[in-house]
């Protein structure tokens, strides 16, 4: 079958050509500002003929994606960490912050997620921020939506019972003091955690705690056999500078910290840059840990950097933090 012939005059052809040029710019703009593949989908609805537009849209969108790191989005989950890490970028410490690249499970890339039981992979599209510096290696993301995190916090408030008496104390220069927060630990049978002269035995996993652990294992690609839970009733409750580098912890395993509730500052200080006798000037790393966020402290961060959750009088809400850990087992 022969295709129908169109009798088009020269002025009509000029108009057609202008229309096509306009269409090209419109689709290019679409590609620049509407997320791919939505832009691609819209562009194909508007396209009269050429497939080249798809190519233009794709290239433009990818260019914009590459520029993404220069944009500061007000109110987005990235902003607080971005701003803080941008502050850090100029200083001697050279903390670099870039979107976490896709890669194999574990160290380095964003973990590939596989559903344990089924055949189809569950794609967890988390945006990880890489925080890097001298012997500093952390990854940060927001795991739970505000609603999901609120539900989780509510369940924790209803179900968790915290340690009291001697288990709620720390030993400092031989003296026992009440810890300025509440604490409880869960873990595999027989595990306990020793720090500041106190041994915290693990309670058996409850369905709530096991559910959270499973989710964290799924998104990080690491397994954990212990979790320390800290509850801060408000900004007066805090945690002093310390490193989680005890012998009971598997040496190179990451410690993954989940935060629920009140946003709080979290400060890292390099061991050479602490106190009056500091050997070097290294700026601290300051993060704001958001409701529902995950901070992955990778090796060797905890060998070189102390961290703390300082008092913040203006912080009025409750915060619960869970640090998932891999403890050495005797077997």
Ligand X SMILES: O=C(O)CCC(=O)C(=O)O
For ligand X, the binding residues (CB under 6 A) are 228, 230, 239, 244, 257, 266, 289, 307, 309, 321, 323
**Is 61 annotated among the ligand-binding residues?**
no
Q: Which is nearer to ligand X, 20 or 196 (CB)?
A: 196
Half-sphere exposure of 228 (CA within 13 A, CB side): 22
For residue 257, the partner it binds in Fe ion, ligand X, none, with Cβ less than 5 to 8 A by kind, is ligand X
Residue 194 assigned ligand-binding role: yes
- Asked if residue 60 lies in contact with residue 32, where contact means CB atoms within 8 angstroms, the answer is yes
Q: Encoding tokens for residue 135?
A: 């012997």
Q: Is 144 annotated as a binding residue?
A: no
**Contact (CB, 8 A) for 321 and 258:** yes
* Cα distances (Å, whole numbers) of residue 57 to 48, 49, 206, 209: 15, 15, 50, 45
Query: What is the Cα Rg of the chain in Å?
Result: 26
For residue 21, give every residue at least 6 positions away whose Cβ sits within 8 Å of its Cβ, in sequence order, or none: none
Which does residue 219 bind out of Fe ion, ligand X, none, counting CB within 5 to 8 angstroms by kind? none
Angle 99-102-103 from CA coordinates, rounded to 5°: 130
In the list Fe ion, ligand X, none, the entry touching 139 (Cβ below 5 to 8 angstroms by class) is none
Non-local CB neighbours of 320 within 8 Å, separated by 6+ positions: 153, 156, 157, 160, 229, 230, 231, 232, 259, 260, 261
We find the least distance from the C-beta atom of residue 107 to ligand X, in angstroms, to be 21
Is residue 230 annotated as involved in ligand binding? yes
**Closest residue to Fe ion, based on beta-carbon distance:** 244
Indicate the residue whose CB is closest to ligand X. 321
User: Between 141 and 257, whose beta carbon lies closer to ligand X?
Assistant: 257
- Given ligand X, Fe ion, none, residue 228, with its beta carbon under 5 to 8 Å by kind, binds ligand X
Interface with Fe ion in residues 239-278 (CB under 5 A): 244
Q: Which stretch binds Fe ion (CB under 5 A): 66-74, 112-120, 237-245, 261-269?
A: 237-245
Q: Tell me the β-bridge partners of 323.
A: 228, 257
Residue 295 found at the interface with Fe ion (CB under 5 A): no
Tell me whether residue 307 is annotated as binding.
yes
Q: 173 a known binding residue?
A: no
> In Å, how far are 166, 194, 241, 310 from 175, measured between CA atoms?
12, 16, 18, 22
Q: Would you say 291 or 307 has its CB closer to ligand X?
A: 307
Closer by beta carbon to ligand X, 30 or else 287:
287
Residue 238 known to bind ligand: no
Bind-site residues for substrate: 193-195, 245
Bind-site residues: 193-195, 230, 232, 242, 245, 307, 319, 323, 325
Residue numbers at the binding site for Fe ion (CB under 5 A):
244
């Amino acid at each position: 079958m022969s295709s129908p012939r169109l009798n088009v005059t020269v002025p009509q052809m000029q108009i057609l050509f202008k229309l096509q040029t306009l269409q090209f710019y419109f689709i290019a703009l679409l590609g620049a500002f509407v997320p791919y593949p939505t832009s691609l989908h819209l562009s194909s609805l508007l396209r009269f003929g050429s497939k080249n537009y798809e190519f233009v849209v794709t290239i433009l969108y990818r260019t914009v994606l590459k520029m993404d790191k220069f944009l500061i989005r007000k109110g987005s989950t990235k902003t607080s960490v971005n701003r803080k890490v941008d502050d850090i970028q100029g200083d001697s410490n050279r903390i670099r912050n870039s979107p976490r690249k896709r890669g194999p499970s574990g160290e380095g890339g964003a973990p590939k997620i596989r559903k344990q039981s089924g055949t189809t992979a569950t794609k967890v599209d988390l945006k990880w921020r890489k925080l890097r510096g001298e012997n500093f290696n952390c990854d940060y993301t927001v795991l739970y939506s505000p609603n999901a995190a609120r539900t989780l916090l509510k369940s924790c408030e209803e179900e968790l019972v915290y340690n009291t008496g001697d288990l709620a104390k720390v030993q400092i220069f031989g003296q026992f003091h009440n810890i300025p927060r509440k604490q409880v630990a869960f873990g595999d049978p027989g595990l306990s955690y020793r720090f500041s002269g106190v041994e915290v035995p693990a309670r058996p996993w409850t369905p709530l705690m096991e559910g959270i652990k499973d989710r964290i294992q799924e998104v990080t690609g690491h397994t954990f056999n212990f979790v320390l839970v800290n509850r801060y009733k408000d900004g007066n409750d805090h945690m002093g500078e310390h490193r989680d580098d005890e012998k009971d912890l598997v040496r190179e395993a990451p410690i993954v910290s989940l935060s629920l509730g009140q946003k709080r500052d979290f400060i890292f200080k390099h061991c050479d840059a602490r106190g009056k006798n500091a050997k070097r000037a290294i700026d601290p790393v300051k993060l704001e840990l958001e409701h529902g966020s995950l901070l992955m402290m990778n090796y060797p961060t905890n060998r070189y950097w102390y961290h703390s959750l300082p008092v913040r009088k203006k912080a009025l809400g409750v915060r619960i933090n869970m640090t998932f850990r891999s403890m050495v087992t005797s077997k």
